[in-house]
């Protein structure tokens, strides 16, 4: 500890900077102003959303693209509860979020005296789903608590971490801590497990690799492994784009019959960094994914290995480290066992399973990818995204992610796109959102304008909650509550100073995308499922 004294709020900003934080998201209030005392003098940029849920989703998009924890500063009570949906989405999708909130003064906690923004037990509420929730009762504990938080965020399976600071603690002075970046501790497989897996790989004649979001940062090594094994690679939603365009890549959901057949016929199924949860492996809630007697799972989370499908070999390891270790133990590329042919056949069969409407929607996604090469598409829960989650090859790692997985929140795409753009300012971001979903976070158009980001808001307008309406009809239920009216989205965008247009024909999309990209990258384009000609031809 050094001799200089700083308030807890000032020291907090110093600690964030020392841990590589360059952006924070939040809406300041009386209950957090002391946390802002040192912010203006720092190198950290503050982004103000229009709602705290937007702060959480922005931090999520930032974290997914940057690989660093997304950080929020939120007031106690409603500011924090507004962000719970975003934190729950991050928990389900293994996204590192650090949420620092206020809480009422220490002397008032647990007494229920009707203080402003009071909750009966804010800490207990947050502890129910976060990796860590801590109340900073002693100001001197700040350095140690922050060190623990960052180590948790960087080690093991990521997720949300919450630290609450009582308002009477924020202004207390502590000696300026020694500023060091907190360490990360990633699990690494023991040699016996690596050798066991290497032997299984050498014996396999029909292997298949399943990829989840936990493998996405090891794209190059995974591609080398796939080539060595001549193994088709099936990517779940958060792994799309890892092997973009590779002949072994099968960018289709394991929920499809063709993928299940491919896996069932394999003599080795190697699952890397995937939860094997319902939104990837049982999207239709049919419990039809085959039981496998040759499944090997590699995951960074021991609990996930314990609760997932039974595996003949479970390996606790960071995927990148495991694959690199495995490559040193197996031979060079096998004589072809038909992996590329099996992958091509699986792609064809999976695509054939889709409806004509889905294939038309996927074609539009491919137009976006090919027109804006290197772009990142961030999606909400909307029909075109559902189709893409079933079958779509993103153009790059981290090039396709959305909220139609795990927690399945609406209103995600607009703020998450802002966060993604702040993580990669030179990259074009496309926010793919429905008319229903965008209205959950419509005001974040203003946040995008304020932040100067490169986001094209592509609004997929189908006059309401069409997916739910269709499901109700299929279940013999007269649709109710599925036709919320929508504003004139281009006019709303223009009111925020954002250029906008409504497409007359779907063939105009490439030109509209290029125009938006070339004019600064911030725009809104509306496609209407019925009124835009050529949509579902």
CA distance between the termini of the chain? 68
Average pLDDT over residues 317-322: 97
Strand (E) or helix (H) holding 100? strand 97-103
CATH superfamily of 355-528: Thiamin diphosphate (ThDP)-binding fold, Pyr/PP domains (3.40.50.970)
Q: Report residue 308 as tokens.
A: 């997932």
What DSSP character marks residue 427?
S
**For 12-56, what is each residue's pLDDT tens digit?**
999 999 999 999 999 999 889 999 999 999 999 999 999 999 999
Q: Dihedral, CA atoms, 457, 462, 468, 469, nearest 10 degrees? A: 170
pTM score, whole prediction: 0.95
Predicted confidence band at 174 (pLDDT cuts at 50, 70, 90)? Answer: very high
How far is residue 26's CA from residue 13's CA, in Å, rounded to a whole number? 14
Give the Cα separation of 349 and 291 in Å (integer). Answer: 21
Q: In this model, does residue 230 exceed pLDDT 70?
A: yes
Percent of the chain having pLDDT more than 70? 98
Per-residue pLDDT, 110: 83
Mean pLDDT of 227-256: 97
**CATH topology identical between 5-175 and 191-350:** yes
pLDDT for residue 11 is more than 80: yes
DSSP state at residue 86: H
The proportion of the chain whose per-residue pLDDT surpasses 90, expressed as a percent, equals 84
Q: How far apart are CA 420 and CA 405, in angstroms?
A: 18
Output the six-digit token pair for 278. Answer: 């319902």
Rounded to whole angstroms, the Cα distance separating 173 from 15 reads 15
Of the pLDDT bands very low, low, confident and very high (cuts 50, 70, 90), residue 334 is low
Closest residue by Cα to residue 416 from 403, 407, 427, 404: 403
> What's the average model confidence in pLDDT over 60-82?
96
**Max Cα–Cα distance, the chain, nearest Å:** 74
**Which residue, among 262, 244, 250, 231, has the nearest Cα to 334 in the 3D structure?**
231
**Mean pLDDT (the chain, rounded):** 94
Residue 173 has pLDDT above 90, yes or no: yes
- DSSP string computed for 19-56: TT--EEEE---TTTGGGGTTTTTSSPEEE--SSHHHHH
Q: Which residues of 217-231 are buried (b: 16+ CB within 10 A; e: fewer)?
A: bbbebbbebbbbbbb
Q: Which of 273, 270, 277, 223 is nearest to 254 (CA)?
A: 277
Sign of CA dihedral 34, 38, 44, 45: positive
Distance, CA of 260 to CA of 283 (rounded, Å): 13
Top CATH class of 191-350 equals alpha beta
CA angle, corner 509, sides to 359 and 239, nearest 5? 50
- Are β-strands 173-175 and 160-166 bridged in parallel, bridged antiparallel, or unpaired? unpaired
Give residue 1's pLDDT: 43
Domain locations in the chain as residue ranges:
5-175, 191-350, 355-528
Decide if pLDDT at 485 tops 80: yes
Assign 99 to helix, strand or coil: strand
Residue of 369, 417, 372 whose CA lies nearest to 251: 369
The CATH homologous superfamily of the domain defined by 5-175: Thiamin diphosphate (ThDP)-binding fold, Pyr/PP domains (3.40.50.970)
What are 426-429's contacts with CB under 8 Å, separation 24+? 426/454, 427/65, 427/374, 427/375, 427/376, 427/454, 428/372, 428/374, 428/375, 428/376, 428/454, 428/456, 428/517, 428/521, 429/375, 429/376, 429/377, 429/378, 429/453, 429/454, 429/455, 429/456, 429/521
State the CB neighbour count (10 A cutoff) for residue 477. 10
What distance in Å separates the CA atoms of residue 428 and residue 421, rounded to the nearest whole number? 7
Q: Which residue has the higher pLDDT, 261 or 111?
A: 261
Alpha-carbon distances of 199 from 192, 268, 488, rounded to whole Å: 11, 11, 61
**Cβ neighbourhood burial of 216 (10 Å; 0-12, 13-18, 19+):** buried
When pLDDT is averaged across residues 342-367 and rounded to a whole number, the result is 97
Local confidence band at 442 (pLDDT 50, 70, 90 cut-offs) = very high
Listed as own residue / partner, the contacts of 393-396 with beta carbons closer than 8 Å and 24 or more positions apart are 393/240, 393/241, 393/244, 393/245, 393/249, 393/251, 393/366, 393/369, 394/240, 394/241, 394/244, 394/251, 394/369, 395/241, 395/244, 395/369, 395/370, 396/241, 396/244
* Alpha carbon distance 262, 354 (integer Å): 17
Q: Is the dihedral of CA 465, 466, 467, 473 positive or negative?
A: positive
Give ∠ CA 239-511-64 in degrees, rounded to 5: 25
Going by C-alpha positions, the residue among 485, 492, 433, 491 that lies closest to residue 464 is: 485
CB 67 within 8 A of CB 158: no
Length of the chain: 537
Tokens at 254, concatenated: 């394991």
* Better-scored residue on pLDDT, 388 or 115: 388
Of 167-171, 175-179, 231-235, 355-359, the least confident: 175-179
| Each residue's pLDDT tens digit, 389-416 | 999 999 999 999 999 998 999 999 999 9
């Amino acid at each position: 500890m050094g001799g200089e004294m700083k308030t807890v709020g000032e020291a907090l900003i110093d600690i964030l900077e020392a841990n590589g934080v360059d952006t924070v998201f939040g809406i300041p209030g009386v209950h957090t102003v002391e946390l802002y005392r040192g912010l203006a003098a720092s190198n950290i940029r503050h982004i103000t959303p229009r709602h705290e849920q937007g702060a959480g989703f922005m931090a999520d998009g930032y974290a997914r693209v940057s690989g660093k924890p997304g950080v929020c500063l939120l007031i106690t009570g409603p500011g924090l509860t507004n962000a719970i949906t975003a934190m729950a989405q991050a928990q389900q999708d293994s996204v590192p979020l650090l949420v620092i909130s206020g809480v009422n003064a220490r002397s008032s906690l647990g007494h229920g005296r009707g203080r402003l923004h009071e909750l009966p037990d804010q800490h207990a509420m947050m502890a129910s789903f976060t990796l860590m929730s801590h109340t900073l009762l002693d100001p001197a504990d700040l350095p140690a608590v922050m060190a623990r938080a960052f180590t948790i965020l960087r080690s093991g399976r990521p997720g949300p971490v919450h630290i609450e600071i009582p308002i009477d603690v924020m202004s207390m002075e502590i000696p300026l801590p020694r500023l060091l970046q907190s360490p990360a501790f990633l699990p690494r497989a023991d040699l016996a497990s690596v050798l066991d897996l290497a032997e299984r790989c050498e014996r396999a004649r029909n292997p298949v690799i399943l990829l989840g979001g936990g493998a996405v940062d090891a794209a190059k090594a995974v591609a080398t492994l796939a080539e060595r094994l001549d193994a088709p690679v099936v990517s779940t939603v958060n792994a799309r784009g890892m092997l973009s365009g590779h002949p072994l890549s099968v960018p289709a959901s394991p929920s499809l019959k063709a993928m299940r057949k491919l896996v069932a016929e394999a003599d080795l199924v190697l699952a890397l960094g995937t939860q094997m949860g319902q939104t990837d492996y049982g999207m239709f809630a049919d419990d039809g994914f085959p039981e496998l007697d040759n499944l090997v799972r590699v995951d960074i989370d021991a609990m996930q290995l314990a609760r997932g499908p039974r595996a003949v070999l479970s390996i606790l390891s960071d995927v990148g480290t495991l694959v690199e270790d495995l490559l040193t133990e197996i031979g060079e590329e096998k004589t072809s066992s038909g992996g590329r042919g099996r992958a091509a056949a699986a792609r064809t069969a999976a695509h054939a399973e889709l409806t004509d409407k889905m294939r038309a929607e996927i074609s539009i996604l491919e137009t976006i990818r090919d027109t804006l090469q290197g772009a990142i598409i961030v999606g909400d829960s909307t029909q075109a995204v559902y189709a893409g989650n079933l079958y779509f090859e993103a153009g790059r790692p981290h090039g396709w992610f959305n909220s139609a997985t795990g927690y399945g929140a609406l209103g995600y795409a607009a703020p998450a796109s802002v966060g993604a753009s702040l993580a990669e300012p030179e990259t074009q971001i496309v926010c793919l959102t429905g008319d229903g979903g965008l209205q959950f976070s419509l005001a974040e158009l203003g946040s995008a304008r304020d932040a100067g980001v490169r986001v094209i808001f592509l609004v997929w307008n189908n006059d309401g909650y069409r997916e739910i309406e269709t499901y109700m009809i299929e279940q013999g239920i007269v649709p109710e509550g599925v036709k919320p009216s929508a504003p004139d989205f281009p006019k709303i965008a223009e009111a925020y100073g954002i250029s906008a247009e409504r497409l007359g024909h779907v063939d105009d999309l490439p030109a509209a995308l290029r125009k938006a990209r070339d004019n600064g990258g911030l725009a809104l384009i509306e496609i209407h499922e019925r009124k835009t000609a050529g949509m579902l031809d």
